[in-house]
Amino acid sequence: MTRAKAVLGLLLIALFSVVSPSVASAAVPTDPRIKAAVAAWKTSELYVDPAYAPLVGEDEAKLVERIRGASVPVYVAVLPSGAWYQEKGDTALLAGWLATANERPGIYLVMDGITTTGVDHLIAASGPRRTYMSDSEDGLVPQLEEYLGEIKTGERYEPEPARTTPLPPPVERSYPEEKFTPKKAIGNGVGGGVIGLIGGAVLAGIVLGVASLVARRGGR
């Protein structure tokens, strides 16, 4: 009996070891951008997509210097994103995939030259969700500095994993359809009639007043 329990325990451990990686990997889709970024982050905190290399230009060393000078671990990926990719325009979701795939606590940023989108991953810190480029001639360094300058740390920030699932669609407000009934029709008709009578009485009063005034002037 004891041997059977031991075998069962080993089977459960083996099953857990097989299932766990698949569950973790299921949260991150297969994406060449994610694979390339994680590979690059093994040696540097900055990954630049080859297509975006001209955007970084000669500022790569400055960007790495700013990243390493941050108060918390920061990983930056300069790469394309948009509605035509798997994240369907949800850049924060892409950042969450990158964070989960990298398996390291920190703040993960996705920069596309126009916006910087960040997520917090398993770290007691928080940064802005998004910052925007102020001047196209300034490059990525000032944009990165602005984001890093707004990072806050403290015990009030709970280390939580970054989001790896799409946001639910917005709930559309529905209003009950007002059914037509004879009672409502009569009520609307009576209400309209009363308003019509009041308006007619006011108009008649004005007409009579003007007529009286004209008659008085004519009698003089």
pLDDT of residue 138: 78
- What tokens were used for 192? 């309209």
Which pLDDT band holds residue 20 (cuts at 50, 70, 90)? very low
Domain boundaries, the chain: 26-153
Q: Does position 198 have pLDDT exceeding 80, yes or no?
A: no
Separation CA 82–CA 113 (nearest Å): 13
Per the model's pLDDT, the better-predicted residue between 68 and 205 turns out to be 68
Q: Does position 22 have pLDDT exceeding 50, yes or no?
A: no
pLDDT of residue 211: 53
Token look-up 């009030």 returns 156
- Predicted confidence (pLDDT) per residue in 58-78, tens digit: 999 999 999 999 999 999 999
- Please provide the DSSP assignment of 80-143 as one string: ---TTSTTTT-HHHHHHHHHHHHT--EEEEEE-SSEEEEEEESSSEE--SEEE-S-TTT-HHHH
pLDDT, the chain, mean: 80
Segment 109-137 shows an average pLDDT of 92
Which pLDDT band holds residue 19 (cuts at 50, 70, 90)? very low
- What tokens were used for 165? 């699932």
33-42, 165-174, 180-189, 203-212 — most confident range? 33-42
